[in-house]
Structure 1
Amino acid sequence: MSNKVILAVLDGLNYQVARDCMGYLNGLIEQQRATLYPIQCELPSLSRPLYECILTGIRPIDSGIVNNNIVRLSHNDSIFSIAKSQNRTTAAAAYSWVSELYNRAPFNAVRDRFTHNDNLNIQYGCFYQWDHYPDEALLLDAEYLRLAHHPDFLLIHPMNIDDMGHKFGLDSKQYRNTVRNVDIYLSNYIESWLDDGYQVIITSDHGMNNDLSHGGILAEEREVPFFVIGSKFMHQDCEVKQTDICGIVCELMNLNHDKPYPRELLLQ
């Protein structure tokens, strides 16, 4: 059985909007080919702190990445560093802050936008700096990385949902329709990913509110989706925490690690 994982973090995606608007992913659930779990994000409900939480399993209060303006490398073991230390291949199509956390900080677009360096934690990367960078293009970047480099772990991180939330708010047609569009884009790739032996996780860092922001404790800011697709998941009821995601991915990849994860989520 394959030990490869694709983790898609759809920035700013609220749980209920994912449940209401993502017809393809919910179609997989209806056919018992995927399972959706609700997750409550850690605090503060901000992007850079929660990238670190998802990718290391460490809460923001403990990681020290407590706001979006802290520009430095992570001090913790991440999926990327654990995989690299065990001779696995890593890649990311993601916002530049991910490069700053796990490769080099501060981000230098000329140097870092396209990364191919076996000495870095993220060995292959397509990184972007613009919140409006098209999700459709980002998925193409990710697919290029997958087909060119066959990574054992691939992070996919589009930003348009969050961008529309900041411009128009949670309860807006622009926000909901952007979620629908991402669902369509994903529908073009997921079967190929599964056929290539990947286990697929689709989640978010945080949700969105009607103040055109996030960062606090409102349910709409904290409740995010956690979709799992693949043969190594039990597809049964269980509780998943955001701090479990790193351990779940490491376990799926059969890596030696000390990260927490819910054993009942995975086939043993």
Structure 2
Amino acid sequence: MRNKVILVVLDGLNYQVAHNCMGYLNGLIETHQATLYKVQAQLPSMSRPLYECILTGKRPVESGIVNNEVVRLSHHSSVFSLAKDAGLITAAAAFHWMSELYNRAPYNAIRDRVTNDETLNIQHGCFYHSDHYPDEHLFLDAEYLRRQYNPNFLLIHPMNIDDTGHKFGLDSSQYRNSARYADIYLSRFVPQWIDQGYQIIVTSDHGMNNDRSHGGALAEEREVPMFVIGSQFAHRHVVENIEPPKQTEICGLVCDLLGIEHHDKASCQMLLAGSK
């Protein structure tokens, strides 16, 4: 069955902070409209390598995107390329590294900041290149893309949580409040996305530590949330006995939801309605 999917990657969001601070999303869990899983980020726990992991299913050591300074196109099929090849519409409101991975590298702001080109993997894009670009504006960019182009797959990727973590660290009111703000922004849009039948995944690339950084194997750097929202998810009330999804399975899960056939991506079928 073909569904429309919105993938929200809240950059730099630690699992425990998401669990403790995101009242709207946790309210959806209490009313059985969402389920939260703890996902372990791949290594190194850095942004560009994990964007590639989430969107292609490849670990950084397999993709070759092993640090943030590797500026080139992905060498692997992604949700974007698979969706485009299946005749679906793709869009992203995201940091410019996404454009560099899946459209054109290096990024040229004048050419690429606003993208509308059906020949590209990300056909419709609003890209930004400053870490402090307001999350509130980014969600508005995303909603514009959704309403204007009606994409089958929409990536939304705000950066303020990560930016705040680098400035103040994991155990700071500023970092926790940045997660609360993202939760508020989501609360403005998720209800209408649910009403319109979207399947929604809210996750993160990596967490944050008290050194105001990330990249290593500490639990606080690797443990990230994965909220799933929508009618196509199983929403089992007891998730302790279910093996948690892997970060390498998000790509395949999105492809399954989009109805893309014959892809070769690992997927976490147990999260879907009708699975046993």
**Do Structure 1 and Structure 2 share a fold, with TM-score over 0.5?**
yes
Tell me the residue number matched to 1:180. Answer: 180
Question: 1:81 offset after TM fit, Å?
Answer: 0.1
In structure 1, what is the Cα distance between the partners aligned to 2:268 and 2:19? Answer: 23
TM-score (norm 1): 0.99
Tell me the residue number matched to 1:246. Answer: 251
8 Å CA contact 1:135–1:158 kept in 2: the answer is yes
Tell me the residue number matched to 2:18. Answer: 18
TM-score (norm 2): 0.96
Structure 1 residues without counterparts, runs of 5 or longer: none
DSSP 3-state at the match of 1:115: strand
Tell me the residue number matched to 2:128. Answer: 128
8 Å CA contact 2:13–2:205 kept in 1: the answer is yes
Question: 1:2 offset after TM fit, Å?
Answer: 5.4
8 Å CA contact 2:43–2:216 kept in 1: the answer is yes
In structure 1, what is the Cα distance between the partners aligned to 2:110 and 2:218? Answer: 39
- Give, as a single letter, the amino acid of the residue that structure 1 aligns with 2:246: K
Matches for 1:1-268 after TM superposition, within 5 Å: 3-236=3-236, 237=239, 238=242, 239-256=244-261, 257-268=263-274
- Give, as a single letter, the amino acid of the residue that structure 1 aligns with 2:165: G
In structure 2, what is the Cα distance between the partners aligned to 1:97 and 1:264? Answer: 31
Identity of aligned residues (%): 68
8 Å CA contact 1:46–1:67 kept in 2: the answer is yes
Question: 1:176 offset after TM fit, Å?
Answer: 0.4
In structure 2, what is the Cα distance between the partners aligned to 1:249 and 1:233? Answer: 12
In structure 1, what is the Cα distance between the partners aligned to 2:26 and 2:2? Answer: 25
In structure 1, what is the Cα distance between the partners aligned to 2:23 and 2:269? Answer: 29
Question: 1:263 offset after TM fit, Å?
Answer: 1.6
Structure 2 residues without counterparts, runs of 5 or longer: none
8 Å CA contact 1:136–1:185 kept in 2: the answer is yes
Question: 1:267 offset after TM fit, Å?
Answer: 2.0
In structure 2, what is the Cα distance between the partners aligned to 1:157 and 1:117? Answer: 20
In structure 2, what is the Cα distance between the partners aligned to 1:70 and 1:136? Answer: 29
1:217-243 Cα deviation digits (max 9, x unpaired): 000000000000000001122320000
In structure 2, what is the Cα distance between the partners aligned to 1:125 and 1:60? Answer: 24
In structure 2, what is the Cα distance between the partners aligned to 1:2 and 1:33? Answer: 20
In structure 2, what is the Cα distance between the partners aligned to 1:63 and 1:76? Answer: 7
1:71-118 Cα deviation digits (max 9, x unpaired): 000000000000000000000000000000000000000000000000
In structure 2, what is the Cα distance between the partners aligned to 1:84 and 1:259? Answer: 16
Question: 1:170 offset after TM fit, Å?
Answer: 0.2
8 Å CA contact 1:2–1:197 kept in 2: the answer is no
DSSP 3-state at the match of 1:3: coil
- Give, as a single letter, the amino acid of the residue that structure 2 aligns with 1:64: G
Question: 1:198 offset after TM fit, Å?
Answer: 0.8
Question: 1:196 offset after TM fit, Å?
Answer: 1.9
DSSP 3-state at the match of 1:202: strand
- Give, as a single letter, the amino acid of the residue that structure 2 aligns with 1:78: S
The list of structure 1 runs, each at least 4 consecutive aligned residues, that deviate by more than 3 angstroms after superposition, is none
In structure 2, what is the Cα distance between the partners aligned to 1:251 and 1:97? Answer: 25
8 Å CA contact 1:2–1:198 kept in 2: the answer is no
